[in-house]
Each structure stands twice: as structure tokens, then as C-alpha cells.
Amino acid sequence: MGNDDAAIVATLDGSYYGRPQPHTVYANVVVGLALSSLYAAAGSIPWYGIYLYFAYFVGLTAVVYVVLADDRSGFGRRVLALAGYMAVFALWMGTQITFTSVALMLGFAGVLLYLSRGPLPRTSWVAMAGAGVMVGAASLVRWHTLGAVLVLAVPLVLLAARRIPWRRQALFVAVAAGVVLSGCAFQAAYYAGKPEWRDYFEFNAVRSAVRDSPTIDAAEAPEVLDAVGWSENDLAMFRNWFYLDQDVYGVEQLRQVNDATGWPLTSLGLAAGSLRVQTAYGGVMGLILTTALLTAAWAFGGRATRRFSALAVAYTATVLAGLALLAKLPPTVGIPILAFLALLLLTTPAGVAADAGGREGGRWRRVTAWVLAGAAIAAVVAGVSDAALGRDSRRVADQTAIAPLREIQQPDPGGIFIQWGNELLLGFASPWRAPLLPSFLGIPLGWPQRSPVHSQWMAELGIDDLYLAIGSREDVYLPLRPPFSLGALYLTYLEEHYGFSGLLRPRAEQDTFTIFDLAVAYALDDRARTINERRPDGTEVRYPLVDDRIVGGARLRTVDDHVRVTGWAADLDSLGPVDYIVVFDDDRAVSVSLPADTPLTQRAIRYAERLGVADPHHLGFEIAITATPHTNIRIFALSDGRAAEITP
């Protein structure tokens, strides 16, 4: 699945908000109502995966039917090419399934069915109606894919208008439009009288127009930031999916960003990179097969077929380039579009070219047939091998996505965990998981944020300001991976908008994550002999300095532009490691960290053992801080509400 799919299924099955919710946002709510009801009735069944694969196989069945029902010459050649298509394109989209690729597959299959069967004299009306249903259903699976389907289909439908009887045209268009309009009407009726949802949809549309386009890069210009009143950090937070603050990230501010940037295109270099990315997802073999199909269409087709093939390739390339320039070309869009071009060249629908496959014989055509056969066989071998070899990697990816969730919860199984950006790789989870996140209490920071169901969930958790809750509530945790760049953005946001300058305090280290539980600022009061800890909400905790019961030692070593602090500390009451090591540079706290399994000197080990510590190997620490010309390092160990200085 993809990240959007993961968010949808976690909403539908109750993983995100404690109970199944129908608000899929990017799909029609009729789909959400059906699936959320199924999850409520039988939550251990992967309904979302079943739904995606059912829709996918409906589209795939239509494609196979079009090829097998074609009685023009060259049947064997087309069947072999179909096998290549199935191995390269269909297998890739099936093993990397997302609602985007399923919607595109469904829409393109409907168009292909219409173009192929529409001109034939004995075509069933059911086939024409079914083609319209598939095109319309694409909008139910994902709203925005209908635009891509129409951009590619409308020229073909117009080209076929002379060859398809008008009644069949009317039926196809009426059914497709009827499904789309019925879905829109149902969506509008369901959310009528829910102004909070209307506001969210308005915000999400503007948010997507800014963040999911080249506008987000153009917004880095100082004049744009000044116009909207953002800092560079505000933009970085928005880019990285944390925009709950309505005063900073309101609809008007986002519209100002759009107005200030215009409608920019991405750079040619980035657009070319976007096109190259497609080759990493089965695109190379797909291009080879498509080229072979183009050669075969040119060799065996008449003038109309050749003209259509050339125009189809040119038009598809233009659409792909345009999407790349608009930064709208992920592999889940690019590969299905290339697959549609391959299908058009493979079938050359009678609606657009009636002279396909009519020219047999001759050395050139025999060579072309062998080339196509070789490309198809190579595609089958490559596609099946890739699917088979990728099976283990997909299983590992699924485990990589889900296993850390159990590790993260170990410090506090009842805690609330923030799911920020790609820190948790839920997009790699299998669509066959149900529920997606069992027994995981969290707050997602993707597109669901700012929605009414998201706001209601935070209210149920007693959170009205998540920025303050992350920094001030000990039951709200922020799991981050090194190098903790998102944590730096969050701290800067606190400083700019809350006037709080501090550090993230770690609670535990699990797997590749560090779980932070507070944002803290430490102040050293030598006169009162205390270390004072302050949180963003104003809460203060005092740690009195003691001369005994906490012991340890440290060494300082300058390495390049850093000071490396190593040492150990023990709490003699618990005969174990202390809670935290806090490093001050003069009176400013520059680091708070957990003890780690840093190797101790033999002298330190013997000393700790004489004090009664049974396992001194967990007492060590190693910290690197940036050096300044006047660095004055002081080191303190905090444990059980007390503190002791261990500066060498």
C-alpha cells in the first residue's frame, strides 16, 4: 500500500480513532460507509485489501476479455503480448497495490472495453453499460484519478465517435456520468449540514494545492514567506505534515502562498528525475514491451493504425511530461498510464483504427513478430521473477512497518504516540492486515489532521493544543529516528510561537527510535543548589543538588568542532543507572540524554562494583556537543528527583 492507503485503512478499521470511521476524504464516502460497517461487524477481516483486489480484478478481467474476444488476425501474437503485459504491468500493480493504481486501472479498462467493443455489430448493451460503470467507479475509488482518465480518454472517445453508433455512445457516457454524479450527490448529501466538514474539505483542497505541487518549493522565496508571515521553520513544518495551528496555517494564509507564487512548474531537472523514477518500478521492462508493441502495430497495421499509434505515444508522453512538471507523477500514476498506452498498442481498438493486424507475411513482419515474442517472453520472465523475488522483501517491509509499533509502546503501553510524517513507515504495511494498528494509541499527523474526526479524537484524549501536549504531558510521546530533524523543527516552532527554548527529553530508546516525552528547559541555580526544569506550559520541577547517593565521573575531549563527553553515573539507592545526564555550557543546558551501554574503564567498573552495583555496564554515557570559543562544560546526573554534579 501507500501512505494514503495506510491512513485510509487506519481510519476505516478504527486504528486511528478508536472506532471505525467512514471519512476516507480521497474516496467517496459511500465506499467509506460500506467498509467501515464491515470493519465494525468483523474487524479481523482485511476488508480494504479485499475491496482493492476485487476492483483491480474487475478491471483486469475486462482487459483480458478485450484481448481474447478480438477475432482479428494475429490472435496468437496478441495473447503472447498479453502475457507480457500481465507479467510486467499487472503483476507490479497487483503486488504494489494502491487505491490510486486501482482507480486508474478500472477507468482505463472501461475506456478500452468501450473503444474495442463499441464499433462491433453484435456488441451487447451490457458491455457498453459495464464500460461506463467502470469509468464512473474510478471516481468512487479515488476522486482525482477521474481527471487523469478523462485527459487520456476524451481524445480517444472523440476519435471513435465516427465508428461507434450514437446510441452506444450515449449509453456509455450516460452511465459513466450517472455513476460520477450519483457519487457526488451522495457525498454532498452525507456532509450536508456538517459545516465543520465543509471547512475541512476547503482547507484540505488548498493545503494539497500548496504542499503537493511545485508551489511548496516556490514558497521558500523570502518575499513569499514575508507576504504570508511565515518563517522558514513554519514552511518546513508544513512541508513535513505538522500544521495543526489554524492561526498559522489557515486557509487564507495558504491562499496567500498560492497568490504569491502563482502556479509554478517544477524544474526540468526534477521533472526528468520524476520520469526516471518510473524506471525503478518495473518501467524499464515496461518501456521495452511498449516499444515492441509499437513496432508490431506499425508493422502489421495499416495507415490508420500507424497514425493512431504515433499519436497515442506522443500524446501519452506529453501527458507524462506535464504531470512531471506539475509534480504529480508518482509511480502509482506513471506506471498505470504507461500500462494503458501498452494496452492501446496491443489491442489497437476498432473504434480508433479499423485496419489493425491486417498485414501479414513478409520478412520484416516475421522478424517483428519474433521481436515481439522475445520481448513478451522476457517480460514474463522478468515480471514473474521480480514478483517472486520481491515476496520476501514485501514481507520484511510489512514487518518493518508494524514491528516498531510494539517496540515503541514498551515504555508506556497506555501512552499516546505521535505518528509524524514518515517516521513510522505504515505505507509498507500489507493490505491483508486487520486491524492495521492493533492496540496502538496514537495521533496521526498526515492529511487526516484538522478533520473533525481528528479534532474529536484529540478532545477525547484531553488535548486542545498538541504542540504544548508533546512538550508538557508525560503520557504523550514523540518517537523519532536519527538524526531527529523533525524534533529540531518542533523545538524551533516552540521557540518562535510559544517563546519557549529548550530540549527534547528522551524517555527510552527502542529499536531505531528514540521516544521523547517532554520538551524541557533547564536552569542551574547555584545559590539554591537546584536544577530547575521548565516545560512549555509553565510547569516547573526542581531537582535539589545532593553530595551523596549519586556518584559518577566524566571526561571531556575536543574533536574537531565538538566536545565529546564520556563517563558514567550511578544511583546508589537503586544501584543502577541514573535517569538523565544533563550537560550545561555555562548556564545554558545544551544536552539531555539517557545513559547508554558505553564501555567503562576498568577503574570505573571496579569502583562501581565496590559500591554494590551488580551490572555496571549500563552506567555509561557518551555525548557530543558543539564547541564554542568559551565553552565551559558542567555535567549533572539526574535521578529520582535529585541531581548531582559529576563535572571532572
56-77 per-position pLDDT tens digit: 999 999 998 888 888 777 777 7
Asked if residue 256 and residue 173 are part of one domain, the reply reads no
Position 441 in a domain = no
Among 174-183, 235-244, 406-415, 472-481, the least confident range: 406-415
Q: Are residues 187 and 199 in the same domain?
A: no
Q: What pLDDT, on the 0 to 100 scale, is given for residue 601?
A: 78
8 pLDDT exceeds 90?
yes
Is 384's pLDDT higher than 80?
no
Mean pLDDT over each residue of the chain, to the nearest integer: 86
Rounded Cα distance between 253 and 240, Å, is 17
If one compares 441 and 40, the residue with the highest pLDDT of the two is 40
The span from the CA of 534 to the CA of 249, in Å, is 28
The reported pLDDT for the residue numbered 479 is 92
Neighbours of 233 (CB within 10 A): 17
The pTM assigned to this predicted structure is 0.87
Contacts of 528 (CB under 8 A, 6+ apart): none
| Among candidate residues 388, 415, 446, the one where a domain is terminated | 388
Which H helix or E strand runs over 323? helix 303-325
Whether the pLDDT of residue 370 is over 60: the answer is no
**Exposure b/e, 539-562, CB count within 10 A at least 16 = b:** eeeebebeeeebbbbbebeeeeee
For residue 483, say if its preceding peptide bond is cis, omega within 30 degrees of 0: yes
- pLDDT digit string, tens, across residues 528-574: 889 999 999 999 999 999 988 898 888 888 877 788 888 888 888 88
> How many independent structural domains does the chain possess?
3
Asked if 252 and 290 sit in the same domain, the reply is no
Q: Which domain holds residue 510?
A: 488-645
Mean pLDDT (whole number) for 379-383: 63
DSSP H or E run through 255: helix 251-261
Looking at the domain assignment, is residue 275 inside a domain? no
> Based on the domain organization, do 117 and 68 belong to the same domain?
yes
- Residue 140 maps to a domain: yes
Q: DSSP letter at 229?
A: T
pLDDT score recorded for residue 123 = 81
Q: Looking at the structure, do residues 381 and 512 belong to the same domain, yes or no?
A: no
Express as a percent the part of the chain with pLDDT over 70.
Answer: 91
Could you tell me if 124 and 17 lie in one domain? Answer: yes
Q: Is residue 535 part of a domain?
A: yes
339 and 325 in a single domain? The answer is yes
DSSP structural state of residue 545: B
Angle at the Cα of 384 from the Cα atoms of 380 and 390, rounded to 5 degrees: 150
Give residue 172's Cα distance to chain centre.
Answer: 35
In this structure, the answer to whether residues 242 and 288 fall within a common structural domain is no
Q: How confident is residue 4, by pLDDT bands cut at 50, 70 and 90?
A: confident
Count CB neighbours of 597 within 10 A. Answer: 12
Residues 59 and 132 occupy one common structural domain = yes
Count of CA atoms in the C-beta half-sphere (13 A) of 564? 7
Please indicate whether residue 95 or residue 62 has the higher confidence score (pLDDT). Answer: 62
One-letter amino acid for residue 509 of the chain: E
Residues 105 and 7 in one domain: yes
Question: Distance of CA 530 to CAs 520, 574, 638, 642, Å?
Answer: 15, 21, 11, 9
- Asked if the model's pLDDT at residue 486 lies above 90, the reply is yes
Long-range pairs, 196-203, Cβ under 8 A, ≥24: 196/452, 196/455, 197/23, 197/451, 197/452, 200/450, 200/451, 200/452, 201/25, 202/251, 203/250, 203/251, 203/254, 203/450
d(CA 94, CA 447): 25
Residues 249 and 367 in one domain: no
Q: What is the pLDDT averaged over residues 576-600? A: 87
Write out pLDDT tens, residues 311-349.
999 999 999 888 888 878 788 888 899 889 998 888 887
Residue 138 lies in a domain: yes
How confident is residue 519, by pLDDT bands cut at 50, 70 and 90? Answer: very high
Pairing of strands 416-420, 442-445: parallel
CA dihedral 484, 486, 490, 492 (to 10 degrees): 80
Q: Do 82 and 231 fall into the same domain?
A: no
Q: Is residue 315 part of a domain?
A: yes
- Which is more confidently placed, 627 or 492? 492
Q: Are 636 and 644 in contact (CB under 8 A)?
A: yes
Q: What is the pLDDT of residue 26?
A: 92
Determine the Cα–Cα distance for residues 96 and 1; give it in Å rounded to an integer.
6
**Distances, alpha carbon 483 to alpha carbons 408, 423, 488, 513, in Å:** 17, 11, 9, 10
Residue 50, in any domain of the structure: yes
Domain-embedded: residue 26: yes
Give the three cell numbers for residue 398: 510489512
Residue 399 grid cell: 514487518
**Which of 261, 292, 311 is the last residue before a domain boundary?**
261
Sign of the torsion angle spanned by Cα atoms 335, 337, 339, 341: negative
- Of 388, 410, 427, the residue that ends a domain is 388
Per residue in 231-283, pLDDT (tens digit) is: 999 999 999 999 999 999 999 999 998 888 877 777 667 667 766 666 665 56
Find out whether 289 and 340 touch, Cβ atoms under 8 Å.
no
